[in-house]
A and B are shown apart, each in its own frame.
Chain A
Amino acid sequence: MMLFDFKILFPAVLLLWIIGALIFYIFKNKKIKNIGLVIISAGILYIFSLIVYMWVNLERPPLRTLGETRLWYALLVPIVGMVLYFRWKMKWIISYSVFLASVFVLISYSSPENFDKALMPALQSIWFVPHVIVYMFAYSILSVTMLIALKGLLMLAKNKFDENLMITADNIVYVGFAFLTFGLLFGAFWAKEAWGHYWTWDPKETWAFITWLFYLIYIHLRYNHKENVKPALWVLALAFIFLLVCWFGVNYLPSTQTSVHTYSS
């Protein structure tokens, strides 16, 4: 179908998001601002319908390859951005999330993938969809904390730190961390069904655990200890780097040549 041709879809989405974001930031009037958000939502809806279309067409959930998870990320990041905007009135979050999602759309545009139906037996499980979607949610939410970490470290360097930033970070980390925990646990339950054991210290598992542990350190550093701002911000930045390693980098690490979890070739 023409409507779902990536060569048309991706520029269209990018255009919608740029126009939407511009309207959102240029105009002061609340109603006009909301029109900007509606236009951005149209782009989100477009990606959503693409995912549904692929799901139907491939006869399997489009969650197998990195390229496919990128689409979910491009879907979820702006949604998370909107929720955070309405919850905490963070205006910058809109531009940030739209920008991040656009990068992912651009990557998909410039390196199109082959989509085939094949879904190896290990992936044919009731855990597959919840496991990956929960992770994509966690990644989308936690990517916001990366920016907060950078912003915070910059503010510290300039000696004008705003405590509110940490409150936002804490809230987002709690939500993202809960999803990260679900992802890890669903993965364990699934591994038991598919490979006979819930935990084998496979490189992908190990890196997921590392990511989880560093957000855990952040939560404990921040608990009742307001003075720990600087180490907490560093841990936050580091944790997100580990998250990226877990998601993309694992395929390239020497320690992972034996991983059972790399499905994209």
Chain B
Amino acid sequence: MKTNRKIGYPLSFVIALALFLVGLLIELFSSHKGIYLPKWPINIIILVVFIVYIIALNHFWNSDLKKWFSSIKSTVGAITIYSVLVLVMGFITQNDENASNLVRNLGLAHINRSWYFLLISAYLLIILGFVILKRIKNIFKFRNFAFFLNHFGIWLVIATASVGSADLQRITLPIFESQTSKFAYENDSTLIELPFSIQLNDFYINNFNPNVIFFNHHSREILNEPSVNYSADSANSFSYENWNVEILKIIPDAVMIDNEFFKSDTSITQFAAFVKVSNNNQSNNVWISSGNYSAPSTVAVLDDNIAISLSLPQEKEYTSIITITNDDGTKIENLTVQVNNPYKNLGYDIYQQGFDNINGQEISILEIVKDPWLPVVYVGLIMLTIGSLMLFWLGKKR
């Protein structure tokens, strides 16, 4: 490769850019909707053919150019162009309905599904494949093993996450209490029948206690910095200027009847606190509340300027209690599903995604995800984790 020393880097960029331009041309003459890769089993066939192709090419092709393709020089050009595409993704809103025609036609609104991104990714994977095969002979040396974990790990992740994205199902399932559901819409369009039904037994929201707000009741300006110090926790007390506030009693789910608050089981409640407000000359016990979408907050006026109230509580967790009935009749009763705490059933993950409130009736929004390729992608991610740990340990070779 001595003769190529000078042109090594320029060539690297020329090839990567040429591939990009070819992809851009195809993109211009395509549907402008982006590529949707074929589903199982076509995608696994494509993947296997791709792997066989790389191995065969590596085996039968013996030239200086092939050596160059498995070198740092080709790598730098390929990763750089790939990175620049990701960089553009960072600046231009992706999947934007309001994108201009120019942006759309160039594929810039769906870069990760564009022809040029596909071509550059495939090119990167071919180079990476060559590099791995070049170094695989001495894989049992510690450093080479780290190299293998990192490079084969990222190869697996990029290849299988792309090819597998076609088989990813993400289904939204809004469900009322005591309702049972077996069908749901994917992307608001295709109706999907699940191999099990879900019944929502109960749904509830727990909130953090809100903070007490001191404000000027003429200008409505907030006077204290609502923070942990003013949290409406039982027995908490604090002061602002000459006013002292002590929380006597809290009711997280309260309704107001005749200017007093009582605990309630309905779903339209608000957070209420019974507080003692005092200064040097006087002392009063009053109710304040945070309000909700149908009722204003309850305010207590302290003097000519200052009044107090409660901020809106922030959500701590929402919980769905569900019962699953599989098609074969097996029943799993009263499971808890929360954010960060999904439940696995028959290859589907059931998530608490959110909630909504329709006419005062609470509705739990579940998301059901099936990703058959996840285990392979995770093998790649874990290889990368261990590889990076080894890299950290080894440092750079001198």
Take A170-B396, A199-B161 as given contacts and tell me if A220 and B226 are in contact as well, using a CB distance cutoff of 8 Å. no
Q: How would you classify the secondary structure of chain B's contact residues: helix, strand, loop or mixed?
A: mixed
Partner of A114, one of B90, B225, B340: B225
Chain B nearest CB from A9 CB (Å) reads: 16
Among B262-270, B324-332, B386-394, the stretch in contact with A: B386-394
Whether A116 sits at the interface, judged by CB under 8 Å, is yes
Partner of B90, one of A124, A181, A206, A225: A206
Q: Which residues of chain A from 109 to 142 have a CB within 8 Å of any chain B CB?
A: 112, 114-122, 124-125
Chain A nearest CB from B362 CB (Å) reads: 16
Please name all residues of chain B whose beta carbon is closer than 8 Å to the beta carbon of A45 when the two chains form the complex.
none
Would A197 and B392 count as touching, CB distance under 8 A?
no
Please name all residues of chain B whose beta carbon is closer than 8 Å to the beta carbon of A124 when the two chains form the complex.
317, 339-340
Would A174 and B391 count as touching, CB distance under 8 A?
yes
Take A174-B395, A201-B94, A213-B79 as given contacts and tell me if A206 and B89 are in contact as well, using a CB distance cutoff of 8 Å. yes
Chain B nearest CB from A35 CB (Å) reads: 31
Q: Which residues of chain B from 302 to 342 have a CB within 8 Å of any chain A CB?
A: 314-318, 338-342
Q: For B89, B168, B377, which residue has the most chain A Cβ atoms within 10 angstroms?
A: B89
Whether A214 sits at the interface, judged by CB under 8 Å, is yes
Among B80-88, B184-192, B246-254, the stretch in contact with A: B80-88
Q: Which residues of chain A from 212 to 243 have a CB within 8 Å of any chain B CB?
A: 213-214, 216-217, 220-225, 242
Would A196 and B72 count as touching, CB distance under 8 A?
no
Would A185 and B381 count as touching, CB distance under 8 A?
yes
Per-residue A-contact encoding for B224-259, CB less than 8 Å = 1, 0 else: 011110010000000000000000000000000000
Would A178 and B318 count as touching, CB distance under 8 A?
no
Number of A-B contacts (CB under 8 A): 136
| Nearest chain A residue, comparing its CB with the CB of B230 | A116
Please name all residues of chain B whose beta carbon is closer than 8 Å to the beta carbon of A257 when the two chains form the complex.
93
| Nearest chain A residue, comparing its CB with the CB of B389 | A178
When chains A and B are docked, how far (Å) is the Cα of A193 from the Cα of B395? 32
Chain B nearest CB from A3 CB (Å) reads: 15
Q: For B315, B339, B352, B371, which residue has the most chain A Cβ atoms within 10 angstroms?
A: B339
When chains A and B are docked, how far (Å) is the Cα of A61 from the Cα of B367? 28
When chains A and B are docked, how far (Å) is the Cα of A195 from the Cα of B352? 9
Chain B nearest CB from A113 CB (Å) reads: 8
Whether A198 sits at the interface, judged by CB under 8 Å, is yes
Take A115-B228, A175-B395 as given contacts and tell me if A196 and B369 are in contact as well, using a CB distance cutoff of 8 Å. yes
Whether A20 sits at the interface, judged by CB under 8 Å, is no
Whether A188 sits at the interface, judged by CB under 8 Å, is yes
Whether A207 sits at the interface, judged by CB under 8 Å, is yes
Whether A49 sits at the interface, judged by CB under 8 Å, is no
Q: Which residues of chain B from 249 to 299 have a CB within 8 Å of any chain A CB?
A: none
Would A214 and B388 count as touching, CB distance under 8 A?
no
Chain B nearest CB from A206 CB (Å) reads: 5
Take A181-B384, A257-B93 as given contacts and tell me if A209 and B86 are in contact as well, using a CB distance cutoff of 8 Å. yes
Would B349 and A196 count as touching, CB distance under 8 A?
yes
Whether A34 sits at the interface, judged by CB under 8 Å, is no
Would A188 and B385 count as touching, CB distance under 8 A?
no
Take A171-B395, A182-B388, A225-B72 as given contacts and tell me if A117 and B161 are in contact as well, using a CB distance cutoff of 8 Å. no
Please name all residues of chain B whose beta carbon is closer than 8 Å to the beta carbon of A242 when the two chains form the complex.
87
Per-residue A-contact encoding for B194-205, CB less than 8 Å = 1, 0 else: 000000000000
14 of the cross-chain contacts (CB-CB < 8 Å) are: A116-B211, A116-B227, A171-B395, A174-B395, A179-B392, A181-B388, A193-B342, A196-B349, A197-B369, A198-B377, A199-B161, A216-B79, A225-B72, A255-B94
